[in-house]
Structure 1
Amino acid sequence: MGRKKKIVLILGQVLLFIVASFLVLDFIFPFPEHKLHRVSATIVKDNEGNALRIFLPPDGARRMHTDFAQVSPTLKKSLIASEDSWFEYHPGVNPVSIIRAAIANIIAGRIVSGASTIPMQIARMAEPKPRTLSAKLQEAFRAMQLKLHHSNDKLLEIYLNILPYGSNIEGVAAASYFYFGHDPSTLSLAESALLTTLPRGPVFYDPIRHPQQAAKGRNRVMLQLEQKGEFPSEEVNRNLKLPLPDKIRPVPLKAPHFCRMVLERSGRIPEIKTTLDYPLQQAAQDMLATHVARLRGDDIDNAACVIIHIPTRQIRALVGSADFFEKGYGGAINLAETKRSPGSTLKPFIYALAFDQGKLTPDSFVYDIPVDYSGYSPENYNRTWSGQVTVKEALARSLNIPAVNTLAMIGVVEFSKLLQKGGISTLNKTPLKYGLPLALGGCEIKLTELTNLYASLADGGKYRPLTFSSGTENISTQLLSPEAAWLTLEMLSSVARPDMNETWMLTRDMPEAAWKTGTSFGHRDAWAVGISGDYAIGVWVGNPDGRPRKGISGAVHAGPLLFDLLRMTVPGGKLPAPPEGSGISEVKVCAHSRRLVGPFCSETTTMRTLSGKTRLRPCKQCRQVFVDAKSGYRLSGECLDRPNIKKIIVRTIPTKLARWRAENNLEIPKLPPPADDCDLIPAGIAPKIISPAGNTPYLLRKDTPLKFQQVALKAEAEADGGILHWFLDGRLVAKGRFDEKLFTEISTGTHRISVSDALGRTDSVIFKVK
């Protein structure tokens, strides 16, 4: 074997030994990768990409992550040319640079040049050590490990994200924002040169404290880049004249409640681009603050609002309170996300579900008279009753009794399912725990979720999850039929507005609106939710500490803010058009009963129904009877063969309504009295006992005489029923007309109460007394 071959073989073996030793050491002492990925800040941005808020990491450093692709090519070129021009070729250390630096330092007799490559700088920043020969050797080893396990682009990304820029600023993303006010993708040559210079001496080259030194360092880098041919002279000369930054921008704190909510839901990730429209947010915040300033003179502390884009369900604005930094009024609480009693705001969905179940239409008659559901006796807000009203009127006037009756008809379980399917996450009890008070706000709901539920009415009855980040896939669920949703929305558009009289539609740019208010039990919360154009807006007003304020009202205190927000957000906004197709049909009904026209209905009207769903019964309230032409007495049976008989049409009313009207001294349509010499065949509706109630146990007090603990005897009966006879355990205890106030004493035990009218029609109930 020749001498040259031996030398080559020996060198090969040495090289192989070095490589094998390096790989063994790399396996035994792996690079601490976790030190390369420090916890960064979370940047919450608006829908235009502007920073709303920066949540700093636990150590308080202004550290913001950026991907390599998002960094300006100018900065990449500047860093590589200035710091490590052979970066793409060396294995982590540059032997040529080491030799050159060593010669320069020996000649100068001091350290005037370094040989650190970018990987070596990364290693030093990851594991800071005193600058000794041993530390340098370790840096070199770590640098080669970095080169072995990472691509060049990945190493540059790591480098760009951990460079120190002074004033607790780390990484080019943070430096670009706090020094220049924009992200690193648009850095100019002058800005890139300064960010190349600063890490060499963050204090010495601080552009705020030492602008002259910073300018010299920055310009030196640009001139070196010009000499190396990286940038043309014209561009360099133009950038040499640009000023340095004169201040460090503060950490932004816009839309604080919204940003905090986004952070809690998304977790700590480097960047969250949201759906917030900041100009709209700022305008809503100013408007809400103005209203709250007035409300505080009325002993109401705060308010919140949310604006949702209906087609996408994106939150475009959310104001959690009048002032986030205000103390004493719950300023830091996000009241748009706080659980509060919704008052009457759930009523539209009760009626909408009744439409879909085929049980009601907007023009159906419902009762507004006192009721008792096993001891639960709701009242209207003004403690008055209207007797019989249409569903449309009941909703427009926010009457409580019709809503409770309708909920009893459609079922609390079904209604609870509808709310949960519609995104209401706060219903954590069983439906029976809520019961019928659910119709009047006997639960807790967030303003954001309630407003999104209303958005479903304007979106063809489709529920879509609320979203705050752009690009989120939004899958819809059919909550209500398009027809039921539109009919409900139309009813809500007839609610009287606080901002205009009945001629508001003639006003230019005044938005059409469907809206509803609510006032919680105990005078604690006032709500107003409205729809116009592509937006759903919700407003809550009240005291964050739950302190009641007598007289608080959704219409008076929340409604004006709602309509100010609607005018600002959707001037001239329109309501959705009726759904296409034949889902809504016109049906002729009796004007008196709103049921299908019977043979004796003389007045008719048309009523919109849901095709294939609405179930209407024939009218039985318009009746034909036979009377004696002279006396006017009613005849039946064998008496119908008498001469001088004529037919007349009589309009009756339901027994429930008749009883209420009689108790309130209102006129009741009655059948002609029966002829004395003509036995009537019992017909019509039998009396129905409503007190005492079979499903309500009665309790006697030991300290009160029995004569003061009598139970009321009440029955619904037709006006032609005559005198009612009441029997307790087979013993006659009272008698009188159906509208008379009758009472009886009771004793402990199980009892049977029965009632019989003059025509022999009866009803009975078993009840218990303890």
Structure 2
Amino acid sequence: MSLFVIFLILDFLYPLDRDKLYRLQSQKVLTKKGEVLRMGLSRDGFWRFDVKSDELPELLKKSVILFEDRYFYYHFGVNPYSILRAFFHNLTGKKTIGASTLSMQIARMMKRKKRSYKNKIIEIFNAFQLEWHFSKDEILLFYLNLAPYGGNIEGIGAASYFYFKSKPKDLTIAQIALLTTIPKNPNLNRLDSQKNLHAKRRKVLSLMYKNHLISKSQNLRSRIEPIIKKRFKAPFYAPQYTNIALKNKAKIVNLDLQIQLFLEKTLKKASNALKKFDVKNAAAVLIDNENMNVIAYVGSKDFKSPLGQNDGVRAVRSPGSTLKPFIYALALENGLITPKQNVFDLPLYAGFYEPENFDKKFMGLVRAEEALQYSLNIPAVELNMFLENKSLYEMLKTAQISSLDKSKEFYGHSLALGGFGISLLELTHLYTAFSNKGRILPLRVGGKLVDKNISIMSKESAYLVSEILSQGIRSRFSEFWESMENMPKIGFKTGTSADSKDLYTIGFSKKYTLGVWMGNFDGSKTKDLTGLDTASEVVFELFSYLNSKKQLQWLEKPKNIQKSLVCLDAIKKNTCKNKDYDFTIKGVGRKYPCKRLRGQVLAFLMKEKMITSINDFSRHICYPRWIEKKPALISPYDGAEIFMDKERKIMLKCFSFSDDDTIYFSIDDGDLIESKSSQEVFVKMQKGSHKVSCLDANSKKSTNHIIIKGDL
């Protein structure tokens, strides 16, 4: 009794350090199906995955007790018989044997110290404390979670995975026998280096059989089970995605491993086929629009390749033409267009900014839906200008795009054509609004919530633009489309940044939105490619694959979309010349901005004999404003600084809004140079500051100030 009282006093004075029983854990990133995507070492450099008692097979528990401490359930932390047996054996025997119980081994694992009699006494005291404060089953679980299994593997959870790629509950009898042998001498007995594995296994199996833990047939079958002498590598799927998950300490994520592997394979194949065009890398991200989860995330085509550790999904780059659909959605809901309405694709001069189409050509008059399908630059820029304070810039601000951190004036009109940087993740998230009735919803990626719940366009305009994007793809890929198996209806948009550096394709259905980028992480150019030439193949293949798994549905048409007889003229004269039934949005009135008639448009209409003069618009509401407009002097633009040599000439170009198309140029108020509206005139000018004027037949004048400089 007195010894017990002394123990209680010592236990109070020197309490058990319970924290040592719960070591730092390695991190696992799992899918919802339980598949391991990635593992991370504990902060002290070990692989440890604690398991619960109900996750362990009973045979494993009994095998360990039988092999390590067969009287475990009968002693109080120390086995006196074993100590005496070891003492006398070690006095005379060549090889020493141990007498440590499981409790004593745990005590030693809690505090790694040099072996000495003093430390042995402390170990025995700690073993008594373990027995006093914990049940036998708890002590056994501590042992199995702390036991060394060779190298930096600790605990049965990590050992089961790295030696057998299994969970403890799924271990075979033969595997249990092998794992039972390791902790006695972990670095000697580890399964990836031990030479005598069969003998070690037979010894444990014999013990199990003799003690009626397994049957004779189980013993015989387990003896001949093949031994794979290796240590499996830690899984390393979706590395850029799991980097995010590890950082956010996410244990279970929404990635779909089957879709992930298919997307990786498809992206790598498509990218490798374009090496001769200087395409060295690629990235893609797939979002489940219904659950708003990122379910596939490929940060680069090959993580182990040069620059492959970059994350192309989060890198900020110019999106090219991929933002145009949002301009058209805004134009539709603000009454500027209907899908079939004609718009102008003509040269546009906005100060120093002169956008061009990709092929350097202009289509003249084109339907709005075709302008979007063919990704024409001028109509998109001009519509965005007509939107004024309801333009793309305001929409992107509403969408809380993180990289849009400058003023509207800073980006200017180039914003419509991708004149700013955005990540593929944010761009793809933005596109999910087409599948979610115009709303951006909170998105989960790698354990992180991108918490947005914002309406950026009406559900009607989102649907109409989606229809336009779905019809364009079929007309441009008609033969290819027919050959694709399981190809569902999808919306589809490509984009290409300046110098073909960034090549994009975005595809979406009701269920999924996929963003694909191709290019180079070092920012180098590709060989005159477009998103249509490159990333589109990945979109087609993935949607075909997804549709083969489960048939994908298209978007539902909102109730407020109707077919109405509308005027499709770009600018209506006294009467409408082109009427047809087209989709319109209930409650949205038509708007005809006076800005639509600019100098280039007037010259085009007269050249094509659609009108004889501006007087053909005499009944138009904007006519009084138009005939009062000064001539549009578009070259040279106001404030231009021109570098030139002695041989070059300056181009003068001006558009008149008068019914008489005669115009006059003057340089520094000098002699008048007669010309015609829209015609180009070339003149020589000296270095220095100059005033260039254009005078129409009604004496209305526009003046620009320029500076001529020498050679660059």
TM superposition score category, shorter chain reference: 0.7 to 0.9
CA drift at 1:763: 5.8
CA drift at 1:341: 2.0
Supply the distance in 1 between the matched residues of 2:52 and 2:450 (Cα, whole angstroms): 24
Q: Establish whether residue 378 from structure 1 lines up as the match of residue 355 from structure 2.
A: yes
Q: Deviations over 1:218-246 (max 9, x none)?
A: 214524653xxxx5757965775562632
Q: What pairs up with 1:683-722 in 2 under 5 angstroms?
A: 685-689=626-630, 691-692=632-633, 697-698=638-639, 712-715=653-656, 717=657, 720=659
CA drift at 1:89: 9.1
- For 2:39, the equivalent position in structure 1 comes to 54
Q: Deviations over 1:698-717 (max 9, x none)?
A: 357799899966864433x2
- For 1:667, the equivalent position in structure 2 comes to 609
Q: Establish whether residue 176 from structure 1 lines up as the match of residue 117 from structure 2.
A: no
Output the TM-score relative to the length of structure 2. 0.82
User: Quick one: which of 224, 229, 241 aligns to 1:261?
Assistant: 241
- For 1:323, the equivalent position in structure 2 comes to 302
User: Quick one: which of 268, 278, 282 aligns to 2:257?
Assistant: 278
Q: Establish whether residue 243 from structure 1 lines up as the match of residue 262 from structure 2.
A: no
Of residues 697-706 and 398-407 in structure 1, the stretch that sits farther from structure 2 once superposed is 697-706
User: Quick one: which of 483, 491, 504 aligns to 2:468?
Assistant: 491
Q: 1:471 to 1:429 in 2, by over 3 A?
A: closer
Q: 1:749 to 1:201 in 2, by over 3 A?
A: closer
Q: 1:85 to 1:689 in 2, by over 3 A?
A: farther
**SS of residue paired to 1:307:** strand
CA drift at 1:521: 0.4
Q: Deviations over 1:388-447 (max 9, x none)?
A: 322211111111111112222335885345336557443344443322212212222333
Supply the distance in 2 between the matched residues of 1:749 and 1:422 (Cα, whole angstroms): 45
**SS of residue paired to 2:228:** coil
- For 2:82, the equivalent position in structure 1 comes to 101
User: Quick one: which of 20, 27, 43 aligns to 2:9?
Assistant: 20
Q: Establish whether residue 578 from structure 1 lines up as the match of residue 556 from structure 2.
A: yes
Q: What pairs up with 1:435-454 in 2 under 5 angstroms?
A: 435-454=412-431
Q: Deviations over 1:282-332 (max 9, x none)?
A: 3333333333332122333233333333322333333344433334xx344
Q: 1:673 to 1:155 in 2, by over 3 A?
A: closer
- For 1:611, the equivalent position in structure 2 comes to 586
Supply the distance in 2 between the matched residues of 1:499 and 1:693 (Cα, whole angstroms): 35
User: Quick one: which of 285, 295, 310 aligns to 1:306?
Assistant: 285
Q: Does the Cα contact within 8 Å between 1:64 and 1:171 map onto a contact in 2?
A: yes
| Structure number with bigger Rg | 1
Instruction: Report percent identity of matched pairs.
Output: 28
RMSD after superposition: 4.4
Q: Deviations over 1:242-275 (max 9, x none)?
A: 62632224214543xx224322443285x73333
Q: 1:695 to 1:292 in 2, by over 3 A?
A: closer
Q: Establish whether residue 540 from structure 1 lines up as the match of residue 517 from structure 2.
A: yes
Task: Indicate the structure whose relative CO is greater, using CA pairs within 8 Å and at least 6 residues apart.
Answer: 2
Q: 1:279 to 1:171 in 2, by over 3 A?
A: same
Q: Deviations over 1:308-359 (max 9, x none)?
A: 33322333333344433334xx344333333322211111122223333443
Q: 1:203 to 1:714 in 2, by over 3 A?
A: closer
Structure 2: tracts of 5 or more residues without a match = 617-622, 708-712
Supply the distance in 1 between the matched residues of 2:139 and 2:673 (Cα, whole angstroms): 97
Counterpart residue identity of residue 444, structure 2: T
Supply the distance in 2 between the matched residues of 1:186 and 1:16 (Cα, whole angstroms): 45
Supply the distance in 1 between the matched residues of 2:448 and 2:37 (Cα, whole angstroms): 18
Of residues 387-396 and 420-429 in structure 1, the stretch that sits farther from structure 2 once superposed is 420-429
Counterpart residue identity of residue 82, structure 2: A
Q: Deviations over 1:505-525 (max 9, x none)?
A: 697633323211111102212
Q: 1:119 to 1:179 in 2, by over 3 A?
A: same
Supply the distance in 2 between the matched residues of 1:670 and 1:502 (Cα, whole angstroms): 43
**SS of residue paired to 2:626:** coil
**SS of residue paired to 1:135:** helix
Q: Deviations over 1:563-611 (max 9, x none)?
A: 233323324955523334x32123322243487xx98446532232222
Supply the distance in 2 between the matched residues of 1:482 and 1:588 (Cα, whole angstroms): 22
Q: Does the Cα contact within 8 Å between 1:222 and 1:236 map onto a contact in 2?
A: no
Q: 1:129 to 1:268 in 2, by over 3 A?
A: farther
- For 2:26, the equivalent position in structure 1 comes to 41
Supply the distance in 2 between the matched residues of 1:507 and 1:707 (Cα, whole angstroms): 54
**SS of residue paired to 1:607:** strand
Of residues 420-429 and 439-448 in structure 1, the stretch that sits farther from structure 2 once superposed is 420-429
Q: 1:740 to 1:259 in 2, by over 3 A?
A: closer
Q: 1:292 to 1:155 in 2, by over 3 A?
A: same
Structure 1: tracts of 5 or more residues without a match = 1-10, 622-652, 675-681
Q: What pairs up with 1:285-434 in 2 under 5 angstroms?
A: 285-327=264-306, 330-411=307-388, 415-416=392-393, 418-419=395-396, 422=399, 424-434=401-411
- For 1:647, the equivalent position in structure 2 comes to none
Of residues 554-563 and 171-180 in structure 1, the stretch that sits farther from structure 2 once superposed is 554-563
Q: Deviations over 1:350-400 (max 9, x none)?
A: 222333344333233332222222211111111111223222111111111
Counterpart residue identity of residue 198, structure 2: Q
Counterpart residue identity of residue 616, structure 1: R
Supply the distance in 2 between the matched residues of 1:712 and 1:671 (Cα, whole angstroms): 19
Counterpart residue identity of residue 101, structure 1: S
Q: Does the Cα contact within 8 Å between 1:725 and 1:732 map onto a contact in 2?
A: no
The number of residue pairs the alignment matches comes to 694
Q: Deviations over 1:77-132 (max 9, x none)?
A: 54456656787898xx53xx433324434665759875544343222113223433
- For 1:677, the equivalent position in structure 2 comes to none
User: Quick one: which of 455, 461, 471 aligns to 1:478?
Assistant: 455
